Amino acid sequence: MRLSIVTLYPNEKLKFMRKSILQGLRLILSGVLAITAISGNAQTSAAGGSTESMKVSLFHLNVDGSTSIIDGNLTLYNNTFSNGLEDDALKMTNFGENFGITRFASNLSIEQRVKIVATDTTFFSMWNFTMRNYRMTIANTNLDHPGLFAYLEDSYLNSSTPLTLNGLNTVDFAVNADARSYQINRFRIVFRNPSLMPLPVKFVSFSANKLPAFVSLNWNVNNESSMDEYQVERSSDGIHFTKITSLKARNVDGDLKYQSTDPQYNAGDNFYRIRGVEFTGASYLSQVVKISVKQKGNEYLIYPNPVSNRKIHLQFFAEKQGLYQFQLISTEGKIVPLQNYTGFKGRNLISIPIQQRLLPGIYGLRITDPAGNCETKNIHIL
């Protein structure tokens, strides 16, 4: 027998080892997913019935049309499982591309959940992708419940692809120089059974009121079920809205009242709306309400008054940018210098610390604007 000896130089040896490891990992991965799917589908119990599954495989899609598997994940559905992480398998990071499931800030390779009744969402995570073409296959088994639909949502292409719930689905996609094409949460699968879904949350009323230091926002809802949070959104033109804060939903039967405040409102028009967000990611919008705040140059508001914790909160509208100087004057005429601030054109919110220890009582806050104009406001220091 003749033996052939191959000499591998350092760079070639590294490439050979890397290739061998990748091939081994791919074989192990595909084997584990196949075995788990087979055993999972065969599992039955009096309580949970037969197990349903969704097996997702990721491939390189080569120029000649051939494919090679690089990663994948598996979801098993049975009523003996829970929707927590107790029985799930965490994902180990590959050297190359990774395609896992994200749940509760954990990346999973195998997830076990209760059977889908009305709604469910599988959130995928992808990383280490390169600029090339890929193929994703989604093999669903026994998920074709009456009235249930599933869609693969692609946030980059802004597309929603209907899926077969008992069979193989094939989706080709590309990664390019656009960062959105390899965004970690680009894909998700959304399940919906409209006939079994609860009524969407209903906004009964929504109002906004301008108070001295903030805008008060109040809304009433009913049909609240499976709600995650309410997001308060503000706009200066009534078209482009930005989230400014959020409140967690209580998910209690009956009519519910919520309240929020906006201390950072703008001079001029302020448009507000509430976005109710479900745990599934679906959202519902309230009506839009408008508050107009008339801008008045150098109108000073101290809040709260009396002042506590040795800190003065001051709000004012400045006609132009410049240095504002502050002093406290006691009833005996003693002057206590305070920190100066640079005011910006428009609405300003500042906090002025009182460095010296002062006796409680009435003081005058002297304010000198950039033009040298002085105004004194009475404050009560506790």
Angle 112-118-121 from CA coordinates, rounded to 5°: 50
Q: Is the residue at 2 inside a domain?
A: no
Q: Are residues 187 and 215 in the same domain?
A: no
- Whether 228 and 278 have beta carbons less than 8 Å apart is answered as yes
Q: Are residues 289 and 314 in the same domain?
A: no
Q: Are residues 266 and 320 in the same domain?
A: no
Give the count of domains, the chain: 3
Q: Are residues 92 and 35 in the same domain?
A: yes
CA of residue 12 relative to chain centroid, distance: 45
* pLDDT of 9: 46
- Choosing from 261, 293, 325, the residue where a domain stops is 293
Q: Is the residue at 29 inside a domain?
A: yes
- Whether 189 and 164 have beta carbons less than 8 Å apart is answered as no
Q: Are residues 144 and 289 in the same domain?
A: no
Residues of the chain with pLDDT under 50: 1-9, 16, 20, 22-24, 26-27, 30-31, 34-47
Pairing of strands 132-141, 167-175: antiparallel
Q: Is the residue at 5 inside a domain?
A: no
Convert 7-41 to b/e letters by CB count within 10 Å (16 or more is b): eeeeeeeeeeeeeeeeeebbeebeeebeebbeebb
Expressed as residue numbers, the domain containing 312 is: 301-381
Rounded Cα–Cα distance for residues 67 and 251 (Å): 47
Q: Are residues 76 and 136 in the same domain?
A: yes
Q: Is the residue at 3 inside a domain?
A: no
* pLDDT of 344: 85
- Whether 20 and 12 have beta carbons less than 8 Å apart is answered as no
Q: Is the residue at 197 inside a domain?
A: no
Q: Are residues 273 and 361 in the same domain?
A: no
Q: Are residues 351 and 268 in the same domain?
A: no
For residue 246, what is the domain's CATH number?
2.60.40.10
Rounded Cα–Cα distance for residues 143 and 150 (Å): 9
Q: Are residues 183 and 330 in the same domain?
A: no
Q: Is the residue at 231 inside a domain?
A: yes
Rounded Cα–Cα distance for residues 279 and 229 (Å): 8
* pLDDT of 153: 93
Q: Is the residue at 62 inside a domain?
A: yes
Q: Are residues 28 and 47 in the same domain?
A: yes
For residue 348, what is the domain's CATH number?
2.60.40.1930
Q: Are residues 58 and 94 in the same domain?
A: yes
- Choosing from 293, 322, 347, the residue where a domain stops is 293
Q: Is the residue at 215 inside a domain?
A: yes
Q: Are residues 285 and 310 in the same domain?
A: no
